[in-house]
Each structure stands twice: as structure tokens, then as C-alpha cells.
Amino acid sequence: MKDILTASFVTEMRKTTANMYRLGWDERNGGNISYLLDEKEVGEYLDLTKVIREIPTGFDAKPLIGKIFIVTGTGKYFKNVDDDPETNLGIVRIKQDGTTAELLWGFKDGGKFTSEFPAHMMSHMARLEADPKNRVVMHCHPTNLLAMNYVHELDEAKLTHTLWEMCTECIVVFPDGVGVLPWMLCGTNEIGEATAKKMKDFRVVVWALHGVYGAGKDMDETFGLIETVEKAAEIYMLTAGLPLLNTIKDEDMVKLAEHFGVKYRKDFLHLK
């Protein structure tokens, strides 16, 4: 067996969590990531017949039976992942009953996956149905986007339109717009179900007054998606309250979307 600490998926988790912490998106133990892995690749590093222990998921994830994920742990600080991945990360497989996760590696201190595991798995189910290439779900608390929640209407069309106006690349990076949920109690199946419902149409979902969920085909794409939304929110917060002399026009957004061949939410634009 190869050394699992050299596996690309472990390296990606170490680098990404460190970067997210550095940016201030994941204070203390805030935020979580789950990454759907390729069974054959994992088998190069782990004996897949050896289960360390079983962890109840608290919900039915039958569509994900047999699928393997690397996921951040509950109560774990992103700043510690790089130094001690085996304690702060875990690799789990959804058991045949659909309500149990088999721990294959990690959580060596007796810990378990993030309390947002239901929201992650439900989002994976939704995104895999929308796009089978989507393998990463990422939750964090980007500072400017969170601040924007307090001063901007939490309406999907209006919030998306404002963000699209902030940077030329925005409508190209998230042409499907930004979904919005009202404030809800985190760590519950209810918020997981609501997030998954939004994830059928959006790759970015704002949890009002809390943070954001993003999904993508790999770690770079998902991180870059949230990074772009956060950059747009930062520009908004830097200019909020100031007289705007210039803005990106809706017809110019259409030109961008059509030039780059992306399918965008036309109903979120103000076209004549």
C-alpha cells in the first residue's frame, strides 16, 4: 500500500483547509469540506475491507451507498489539518443500510465527521443528479459575503444581480446565480434538506447570516467559485453607500455569458 499522506486527495484537503483558514473564512472550528473519492484510487492507499468503526449518519443516504468521502471532523480547526490530517480528517464509506458510515481512515482521536454531514451528503446527492462530475461540497464563512447579508436584500435574483455587477467574471463563474436560504438552525436534517433542494439549481447557496455552501467538480473549482463570490461581495461592501458612477450593464453581462458559452439565469437580469 502507498502512504496515504501522499495521496492527492489528502494533499488537496490539507492545502485547501490551510488556505481557507488563512483567508479568515473558517474561524475556530467553523466550516467543513467533503470530497467524493474514486474507490480505485483510495484502494491504492487503504485496505477497503478493513473498517475501523461505524458511525451513524442520522439520515437515509441510500443513493450514496458504497461511495467514499474524505471529510473534515466535527469540532476540528482548519488550522490544524495540515499538521495532523489523521486526527482532523476522516475517510468514510456509506454502508449498505444507507444510515451508517464506515470509517476507513482518520479521526484517530475517536472523533467523527462534521455536524453538517447530513447537509453535505444531501447536497452531494442533489449535485450528482444535476451534474455527475460534481464531487466537492464546501461550507465556510467568507467575511464580506457574510457582512453583505446584513445590508442587502436576501432575495436570490437581487443578490445575484448585485454580485454579477461587481466583477466582469462573475456571470461567467457562477452563471446559475446564488441561492439563498433564510436563517435556519445549523447541524440539522432540516437545513440539509433545504440546502439540497437549492443545490438542484445552484452551485452556491447562502445560509443567511451564517455562511455559504459551494459545490464543484474538484477542489480548485469549488474554492474558486466561493472565492469569486466573496471577491464580488468585498467590492460591494467597499462601495456600499458611495455614489456609483459606473456599473456593468445587463446587456454587457449577456455578451459575456454568450461569449464564454455559459447558461445563465436570464430571469435574474433586467432586459428590455
Cell 441561492 belongs to: 179
d(CA 209, CA 12): 28
Residue 35, SS3 per DSSP? strand
Per the annotation, the verdict on 116 as an active-site residue is: yes
Cell 443528479 belongs to: 129
Catalytically annotated residue among 12, 102, 116, 234: 116
Which of 62, 182, 194, 219 minimizes the C-alpha distance to 123?
Answer: 194
DSSP H helices, 35-142, are 39-42, 85-88, 117-130
Cα 22 to the center of its chain, rounded Å? 17
Tell me, what amino acid is at 179? G
Active site residue ranges: 116
